Amino acid sequence: ANGPNSHQEPLRMTTLPPQPRHTVNIDFCGPFLGGSYLLVIIDAYSRFPEVEIVSSTSAKSTILKLERIFATHGIPKVLKSDNGPPFQSHEFSLYLKELGIKHKPSSPLWPQGNGQAENFMKPLVKAVKSAHHENKDCKREMFKFLLNYRATPHSTTGKSPSELLYNRKIQTKLPQVTVENDSSLHQEVKERDERLKKNQKEYADSKRRVKCADIKKSDLVLVRQPKANKMSTKYDPIPYEVTNRRGNRITAIRNGKYITRNISFFKKYHPRHGRSLESTEIMDEENYSSDEDVHEEHEQYDGLRQNDRPRQNNGQRQDDGPRYPARERQRVYRYGNNIYD
């Protein structure tokens, strides 16, 4: 339970959606000063970001902002999010069902599953923090950042988000040359996206000890747990049983409790001497003794130690063999006085 994981899973790269506004990623950023949050929505195809300032992360507040964005860009087919409270609420689920949007939440405690939104937040937070420390208007600086981000070619697609979403470049302070729309633009983007993602995966997998885990249904697994103190183990020592695996998403059960995590949170459990899950739990319970049992064991041990001590024969010393000769002591005289009796 305290050993390291022997390997890491290979990267699973997402495929590019068939068209803009087909799939969007959503997440919250914050809180900032004053308790405000930033609601971030990114188009998975064009990487075009939308940012809304909200004072609450409730489902009602989130739905209101989504209504405005959907009124501008249309209703997407798929919405990806993490497992935050507003995205797991019943009200939010009914709203997506009403619009016909398929919800794809990432695995719990696995922010990499919503990577596009997470990656965009890094430069966004940096821009807001810089404006705050320079005593500038944070909102104005954020809007300037969004303008530049939407007009800058993305490192993966090679095109700017606005160019892929609107099929044209947006005007900024920098002068630019207007060119005619290229019909092969989107085909070029798809090929470039696939090629660069393949290179990214190969590079990342070569730098990490990647190995596909052979975890399957009905296997016993240990689950990585938060470190409570210096003595806590890296993995929960009591195993779970896998009930379902879909890609890198695993669901396991223990004592009627289900958990769902990314496969990187699990390590296959190999029982010693063929012990089953039930015998492991029974043994774990038997390892804990009550204070009375421990006290009784100490008393029995003390009694054994006293009984095992060699007995004395009424003050007579037993001759166990030759001893060293006794030291001959003499009186100490100093300056004619006897100082030792």
Q: What are phi and psi of 83, to 5 degrees?
A: -105, 35
Beta strands in the chain (DSSP E): 23-29, 37-43, 49-54, 78-81, 102-105, 220-223, 240-246, 249-254, 257-262, 266-268, 333-334, 337-338
Bigger pLDDT: 49 or 338? 49
- pLDDT tens digits, 154-188: 988 899 999 999 988 888 888 877 666 566 777 88
Pair 161, 260 in one domain: no
| Structural domain total, the chain | 2
Asked whether residue 71 is assigned to any structural domain, the reply reads yes
Pair 161, 230 in one domain: no
Q: Are 233 and 224 in contact (CB under 8 A)?
A: no
The whole-number pLDDT of residue 297 equals 45
CA dihedral 295, 296, 302, 308 (to 10 degrees): -160
pLDDT above 90 coverage of the chain, percent: 40
Q: What are phi and psi of 36, to 5 degrees?
A: -85, 160
258 pLDDT higher than 70: yes
What is the number of other CB atoms lying within 10 angstroms of the CB of residue 256?
5
- DSSP-assigned letters across all residues of 48-61: -EEEEEES--SHHH
The whole-number pLDDT of residue 270 equals 81
Structure tokens at 77: 């087919």
Residue 250 Cα to chain centre, angstroms: 14
The whole-number pLDDT of residue 318 equals 52
The whole-number pLDDT of residue 196 equals 86
Bigger pLDDT: 58 or 297? 58
Instruction: Work out the mean pLDDT of the chain and round it to a whole number.
Output: 81
The whole-number pLDDT of residue 5 equals 66
Average pLDDT over residues 314-325: 56
Asked whether residue 339 is assigned to any structural domain, the reply reads no
Bigger pLDDT: 191 or 328? 191
Whether cis (ω within 30° of 0) applies to the bond prior to 85 is no
Pair 137, 28 in one domain: yes
Asked whether residue 330 is assigned to any structural domain, the reply reads no
The whole-number pLDDT of residue 283 equals 45
Asked whether residue 116 is assigned to any structural domain, the reply reads yes
Bigger pLDDT: 262 or 41? 41
Q: Are 207 and 8 in contact (CB under 8 A)?
A: no
pLDDT band of 334, cuts 50, 70, 90? low
Last residue of a domain, one of 166, 195, 229: 166
Last residue of a domain, one of 236, 268, 300: 268
Q: Using DSSP, how many helices (H) and how many strands (E) does the chain show?
A: 9, 12
Of residues 222, 217, 214, the one with CA closest to residue 244:
217
Domain holding 224, by residue range, is 219-268
- pLDDT tens digits, 78-135: 999 988 889 999 999 999 999 999 999 988 877 777 888 888 999 999 999 999 999 9
Q: Report how far residue 305's alpha carbon sits from residue 192's, in angstroms, rounded to the nearest whole number.
A: 79
The whole-number pLDDT of residue 127 equals 94
The whole-number pLDDT of residue 144 equals 95
Q: Is 52 exposed, middle or buried (0-12, 13-18, 19+ CB in 10 A)?
A: middle
300 pLDDT higher than 80: no
304 pLDDT higher than 50: no
The whole-number pLDDT of residue 160 equals 93
pLDDT band of 296, cuts 50, 70, 90? very low
